[in-house]
Every structure is written in structure tokens, then in C-alpha cells.
Amino acid sequence: MASVGHHRFVLVWTASFVRTARKFLRRHPDLEGVFADVLRQLETDPHAPRLRLHSLKGKHLGKHAVSLTYEYRIVLILRLTAKEVVLLDVGAHDEVYRG
């Protein structure tokens, strides 16, 4: 039986992600459309090839990241059983993977 509606995952916006995203979009207004597209894609299929979802290691073990552009990433926690994508951070590669 087909599921009703096209959104299969719920995006959970953490307070820190809201702050970071607001700052990020102020600095990069040109990426607003790409940012919105990536979030929409995360709702429908976090495993879509365009997102390049990958798990992180080391101190970020248990977290995943997706590509916004070649330079920018969104860090998240993917909860498959709950169908949730918990948004944690957005920014340049070196910013989001810092300690």
C-alpha cells in the first residue's frame, strides 16, 4: 500500500541549527534556494545520491552529513526508525567538523 503524502521523514530543527542556519543564510543569501532544496530532499529521501549522505567518524560518530555544495555541509542525526532527520549544524566543511 502506498503511503499518503510525499514527505517520509520529519525534519527536527534544533535551537543551535536554527541559529546557525540563520547566520549561514545571512552570509550566503545566494544559497537559500539550494538550502531549501536540500531540506526538501531530506524529507523525501535522505539517501538520494545528490545529497551524498555519509556517516561521520571520531568525535562525530553517530552523526551524518549531507552536501549543500562542494564546500558546505549540513550535519545531522538520521533516525531511521523514527523517520526523523535531526538538523545539527550547517557551514563550511572545516567549520562543521571542528571540535
Domain-wise residue ranges, the chain: 10-96
Q: Which pLDDT belongs to residue 5? A: 52
- With contact defined as beta carbons under 8 Å apart, do 48 and 71 qualify? no
Looking at the structure, give the CATH architecture of the domain made up of residues 10-96.
2-Layer Sandwich (3.30)
CB atoms within 10 A of CB 49: 7
Q: Which pLDDT belongs to residue 72? A: 96
Q: Which pLDDT belongs to residue 97? A: 85
Mean pLDDT of successive 10-residue segments in the chain (99 residues)? 63 96 97 97 95 95 95 95 94 86
Cα separation, 69 vs 92, in Å, equals 9
Q: Which pLDDT belongs to residue 87? A: 97
**What is the rounded radius of gyration, in angstroms, for the C-alpha atoms of the chain?**
13
Report angle CA 38, 44, 49 to the nearest 5 degrees.
60
